[in-house]
């Protein structure tokens, strides 16, 4: 039968007198005390039978005499197989409560509102229950059971709490063990096992690009997972596998897009950079102007008959009407606005710059050939072209547009700066490097004879006309025809392309008839030639013939006819073109203009932004590009050059001591 706690006057007086005896009046009622709730089970079960449920006594059965109440003992209510029923002596109880009070007091850190206990809220409340119970035993003489129940009543708890307090006190009496809070002390994830996590990670990497959480479950169905049976006995659920994907470093997201950072150091790109562009630049640099830190001109030392060199960099860029600045300080009271959909109308601009004169335009006081109205006022002739790119607009910027712009640029520089040598630098785009249609195109050539190998030219009515490739020059200087004569004995070969096998045989190439067209490759998009091979197949052999290598592009031929020259930047080397930074400054300025979707406003604001890039900025950008050239000339890679320029941004050249140190580091690594 359940024992009830009767609120007699005597016990009430005892409780009233013992509230202060708890010794923890204020702390016990603090808001930071977290009290536990009992579990949903029967509290304090007893072995007493429900007497009214028994049958009435029969015959000579003795009348039921209720068993006498057990004397109060300091039991632990069956918590242990051999409960400690010995009463706690008064002196021992006093010593225990003193220890508990010291532990509680020493656990606090901080002051005021920041005062917290290292025991945690749950651990602190449990020690306070224990100290309160022992205080009642010391001050009032109550036994352990009565004292724990009284403390539970004071704390508005039930008998189950009193039972737990008695267990904690007995443990503390026995070996000084304090009650612990198990929250947060459960087992770690099985992924803490390094061998298991490494095996799962290797399994996922082998699954390729589209890995998924289900692959983790598949791993535990393989023989490889059997050696981890002592770590995990069954495959995880799909939800657990998804959480493990995050632990493995995977994130469910849209694929990132990047730039051609790896192709910057591609073998053929490096070869062109180191063998052609950098040496040619160093030859020209000796005859170019330079400027000191104060902006004063340092003229070059020219030999007799030499001309000063001016380098003009060319590039294209596109401005969009809805290109706005998106990063700014936003006040917390500001509501979200509606952004224009799409990029809006666009205008493409292409121009030339030089560190000597800035944008390529006529100088003040010199009559322009074809005046150009500036956005900031005044008229001058400029090489700038504004193009409305698009299918329903001006079409697309093609080689003929580049030829027209270059012709205009050369006419300006010949009129404005006739006593200087002008070099025009273009990037390696196909519209810049295009060969004349009559120039032999190795990629269109067949191994055997063909009637279809010809160049293409647009006729007066827009139709495509096939034209024969121009004759080439043999190594001994003789002219070689690429087509059979029109009076050939074989009618099928009359006027037909000879084929690379016969062309190479006429050039005395060994085993020309046995060469394949291209080397086989596992990648259908590329031929399988080795990087340094020159005669592995017919196409590679033909490409490395001296007269084929010496072929000039359309704009190179045009520039040479006007007394100028054209250079090409290495592919993926935008850092060598200072006009790229001019576009960046101009676009930043454009984003500060009032928003508008009109093409007229776009053009006006774009021209004003471009004209804001002055000569001082252009020279700074040109100096930065020149430092990159110097770094590449010293053998640095793209990443090394970028780090060096960031470290020594105020130097026109890289310090020699730094270059020697980097060489030593490479030697150690190798």
Q: What are the phi and psi torsion angles at 245 (to 5°)?
A: -60, -40
Task: Please classify residue 581 by burial: count the beta carbons closer than 10 Å to its beta carbon, then call 0-12 exposed, 13-18 middle and 19+ buried.
Answer: buried
Q: 315: helix, coil or strand?
A: strand
Closest alpha carbon to 619 in 567, 568, 578, 573? 578
Name beta bridge partners: 425: 313, 567
Indicate if the pLDDT at residue 655 is higher than 90: no
Confidence of residue 183 (pLDDT cuts 50, 70, 90): low
Among the residue ranges 98-112, 182-196, 541-555, 561-575, the one predicted with the least confidence is 182-196
Sequence-distant (≥ 6) Cβ neighbours of residue 269 within 8 angstroms: 263, 570, 571, 572, 573
- CA distances, 329 to each of 335, 340, 606 (Å): 13, 20, 25
Give the pLDDT score at 616: 93
Name beta bridge partners: 351: 315
Q: Name all contacts of 467-472 with Cβ < 8 Å and 24+ positions apart.
A: 467/437, 467/438, 468/438, 469/438, 469/439, 469/440, 469/441, 469/497, 470/436, 470/438, 470/439, 470/440, 472/440, 472/545, 472/547, 472/548
Spell 271-310 as b/e; 16+ CB within 10 A means b.
ebbeeebbeebeeebebbbbbeeeeeeeeeeeeeeeeebb
Confidence of residue 523 (pLDDT cuts 50, 70, 90): low
For 626-639, write each residue's pLDDT tens digit: 989 988 888 887 77
Q: How big is the chain by its Cα radius of gyration, in Å?
A: 45
Instruction: Name the pTM for this structure.
Output: 0.60
Confidence of residue 406 (pLDDT cuts 50, 70, 90): very high
| Most confident region among 24-28, 244-248, 276-280, 361-365 by mean pLDDT | 276-280
Name beta bridge partners: 423: 311, 565
CA angle 268, 548, 264 (to 5 degrees): 15
Contact (Cβ atoms closer than 8 angstroms) between residue 342 and residue 304 = no
Give the pLDDT score at 334: 84
Q: Where are the domains of the chain?
A: 90-175, 190-248, 267-326+343-432+566-667, 442-520+532-550
Q: 159: helix, coil or strand?
A: helix
Unique residue bearing structure tokens 């259908």: 524
Give the integer Cα–Cα distance in Å for 149 and 133. Answer: 8
Neighbours of 639 (CB within 10 A): 11
Give the integer Cα–Cα distance in Å for 36 and 280. Answer: 83
Indicate if the pLDDT at residue 475 is higher than 80: yes
Spell 478-494 as b/e; 16+ CB within 10 A means b.
eeeebbbeeeeeeeebe
Give the pLDDT score at 379: 42
Closest alpha carbon to 482 in 492, 493, 410, 656? 493
Confidence of residue 68 (pLDDT cuts 50, 70, 90): very low
Q: What is the mean pLDDT of residues 334-348?
A: 87
Q: What is the CATH number of domain 267-326+343-432+566-667?
A: 3.30.420
Q: What is the mean pLDDT of residues 442-450?
A: 91
Q: What is the mean pLDDT of the chain?
A: 81
Give the integer Cα–Cα distance in Å for 181 and 552. Answer: 83
Give the pLDDT score at 669: 44
Name the pairing type of β-strands 420-426 and 565-568.
Answer: parallel
Contact (Cβ atoms closer than 8 angstroms) between residue 381 and residue 370 = yes
> DSSP code of 66?
P
Spell 429-450 as b/e; 16+ CB within 10 A means b.
bebbbbbbbebbbbeebebebe
Closest alpha carbon to 469 in 452, 459, 454, 458? 454
Give the integer Cα–Cα distance in Å for 349 and 648. Answer: 33
Give the integer Cα–Cα distance in Å for 189 and 185. Answer: 12
Give the pLDDT score at 365: 61
> DSSP code of 551?
-
Give the integer Cα–Cα distance in Å for 134 and 170. Answer: 11
Give the integer Cα–Cα distance in Å for 540 and 533. Answer: 8
> DSSP code of 198?
H
Confidence of residue 49 (pLDDT cuts 50, 70, 90): very low
Give the pLDDT score at 615: 94
Indicate if the pLDDT at residue 617 is higher than 90: yes
Give the pLDDT score at 186: 59
- CA distances, 299 to each of 290, 356, 633 (Å): 7, 11, 23
Indicate if the pLDDT at residue 652 is higher than 80: no
Give the integer Cα–Cα distance in Å for 550 and 553. Answer: 10
Confidence of residue 527 (pLDDT cuts 50, 70, 90): low
């Amino acid at each position: 039968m359940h024992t009830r706690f009767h609120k007699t006057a005597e016990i009430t007086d005892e409780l009233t007198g013992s509230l202060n005896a708890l010794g923890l009046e204020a702390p016990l009622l603090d808001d930071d005390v977290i009290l536990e709730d009992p579990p949903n089970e029967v509290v304090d079960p007893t072995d007493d039978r429900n007497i009214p449920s028994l049958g009435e006594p029969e015959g000579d059965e003795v009348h039921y005499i209720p068993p006498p109440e057990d004397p109060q003992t300091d039991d632990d209510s069956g918590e242990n197989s051999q409960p400690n029923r010995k009463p706690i002596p008064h002196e021992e109880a006093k010593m225990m409560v003193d220890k508990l009070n010291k532990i509680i007091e020493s656990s606090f850190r901080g002051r005021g509102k920041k005062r917290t206990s290292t025991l945690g809220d749950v651990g602190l409340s449990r020690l306070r229950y224990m100290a309160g119970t022992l205080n009642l035993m010391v001050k009032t003489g109550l036994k352990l059971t009565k004292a724990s129940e009284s403390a539970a009543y004071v704390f508005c708890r039930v008998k189950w709490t009193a039972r737990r307090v008695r267990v904690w006190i007995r443990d503390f009496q026995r070996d000084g063990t304090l009650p612990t809070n198990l929250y947060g002390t459960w087992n770690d994830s099985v992924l803490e096992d390094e061998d298991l996590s490494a095996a799962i990670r290797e399994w996922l990497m082998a699954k390729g690009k589209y890995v998924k959480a289900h692959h983790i479950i598949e791993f535990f169905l393989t023989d490889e997972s059997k050696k981890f049976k002592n770590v995990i006995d069954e495959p995880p659920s799909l939800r657990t596998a998804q959480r493990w994907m995050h632990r493995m470093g995977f994130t469910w997201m849209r694929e990132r897009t990047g730039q051609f950072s790896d192709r910057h150091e591609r073998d053929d790109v490096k070869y062109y950079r180191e063998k052609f562009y950098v040496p040619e630049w160093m030859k020209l640099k000796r005859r170019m102007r330079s400027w000191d830190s104060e902006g004063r001109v340092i003229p070059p030392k020219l030999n007799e008959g030499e001309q000063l060199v001016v380098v003009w960099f060319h590039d294209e860029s596109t401005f969009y009407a809805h290109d706005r600045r998106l990063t700014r300080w936003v006040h917390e009271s500001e509501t979200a606005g509606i952004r224009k959909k799409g990029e809006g109308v666009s205008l493409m601009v292409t121009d030339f710059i030089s560190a000597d004169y800035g944008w390529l335009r006529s100088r003040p006081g010199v009559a322009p050939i074809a005046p150009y109205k500036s956005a900031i006022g005044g008229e001058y002739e400029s090489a700038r072209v504004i193009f409305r790119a698009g299918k329903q607009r001006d079409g697309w910027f093609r080689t003929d547009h580049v030829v027209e712009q270059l012709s205009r640029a050369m006419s300006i520089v010949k009129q404005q700066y006739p006593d200087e040598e002008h070099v025009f630098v273009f990037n390696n785009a196909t519209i810049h490097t295009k060969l004349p249609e009559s120039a032999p195109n190795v990629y269109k050539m067949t191994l055997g004879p063909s009637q279809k190998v010809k160049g293409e030219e647009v006729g007066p009515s827009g139709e495509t006309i096939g034209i024969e490739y121009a004759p080439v020059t043999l190594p001994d200087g003789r002219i070689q025809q690429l087509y059979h004569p029109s009076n050939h004995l074989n009618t099928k070969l009359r006027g037909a392309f000879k084929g690379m096998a016969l062309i190479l045989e006429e050039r005395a190439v060994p085993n020309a008839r046995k060469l394949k067209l291209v080397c086989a490759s596992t990648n259908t998009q590329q031929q399988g030639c080795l990087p340094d091979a020159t005669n592995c197949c017919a196409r590679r052999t033909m490409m490395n013939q001296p007269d084929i290598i010496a072929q000039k592009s359309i704009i190179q031929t045009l520039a040479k006819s006007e007394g100028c020259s054209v250079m090409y930047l290495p592919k993926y080397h935008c850092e060598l073109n200072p006009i790229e930074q001019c576009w960046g400054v101009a676009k930043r300025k454009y984003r500060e203009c009032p928003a508008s979707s009109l093409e007229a406003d776009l053009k006006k604001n774009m021209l004003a932004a471009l004209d804001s890039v002055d000569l001082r900025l252009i020279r700074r950008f040109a100096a930065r590009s020149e430092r990159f050239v110097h770094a590449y000339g010293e053998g640095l890679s793209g990443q090394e050059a970028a780090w060096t320029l960031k470290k020594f941004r105020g130097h026109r050249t890289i310090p020699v001591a730094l270059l020697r140190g980097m060489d030593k580091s490479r030697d150690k690594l190798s």
